[in-house]
Amino acid sequence: MDQIKIGRFIADERKRKGYTQKQLSEKIGISDKTISKWERGNGFPEVSLLLPLCDELEITVNELLSGERVSEDDYRKKAEVNMVNLVREAQESKKKIILSAMVATLTIVAAFPLFLLSGILEMENWLRVLLIAIGLVVVCGGIVIACILDREAGAFECPDCNTRFVPDMKSYVMGAHTLTKRKLVCPHCGAHRYCKKVLTK
């Protein structure tokens, strides 16, 4: 999806209706900063907000995802393109999650022998310290890469308001987590809950 194009479309349709960003935000129960973010192409409406936003702007979800008004003749074609794009986004997110798990596994496999050798073999202290340091660099580097890939894959869904969002790196790293959930603060409702990992934003 072209977020810049969609953002311009939201702005144009909002102006056509005669709404300010604040008026539109009040009608769908979000902040005007969120509307501004969408219109700049720096974000996309959460699934729970698609229908309320489209109802207020008197457009279809298909037109919103296309970033333009769609004629009746083109409607089906655009709907199919948008569906393919959503499936592609989910597949790419899945690949990133798998790649993240592989990086984490390879990191452990690569670092473990270094730690093992430094503890078992007879060697000078400086060499032992060097092996341990290299092992730590490998572990830290692998964890950073795995975190970046996992954070960028899909989004997290708030259990209270169903808003989907991508947390900043600090919140992501510091949040307690299970395999499929992470404790985060929802930017929409402010709830501090275990948010479920989902494949689409």
pLDDT in tens, 113-150: 888 888 888 888 888 899 889 989 988 888 888 878 87
- pLDDT > 90? residue 198: no
Residue ranges with strand state E in 27-163: 155-157
Judge whether 135 and 159 are in contact, CB under 8 Å.
no
Buried b (16+ CB within 10 A) or exposed e, 105-129: eebeeebeebbeebeeeeeeeeeee
Judge whether 101 and 109 are in contact, CB under 8 Å.
no
Q: Rounded to whole angstroms, how far apart are CA atoms 41 and 10? A: 10
- pLDDT > 70? residue 60: yes
Q: What is the mean pLDDT of the chain?
A: 84
pLDDT of residue 201: 64
Helix (H, G, I), strand (E, B) or coil at 165: strand
Count the neighbouring beta carbons within 10 Å of the beta carbon of residue 9. Answer: 22
Judge whether 25 and 32 are in contact, CB under 8 Å.
yes
Residue ranges with strand state E in the chain: 155-157, 164-165, 181-185, 192-198
% of the chain surpassing 70 pLDDT: 92
Judge whether 142 and 133 are in contact, CB under 8 Å.
no
% of the chain surpassing 90 pLDDT: 18
Q: Which two tokens stand for residue 183?
A: 């404790």
Say which residue, 116 or 96, is predicted with more confidence: 116
Radius of gyration of the chain (CA): 23
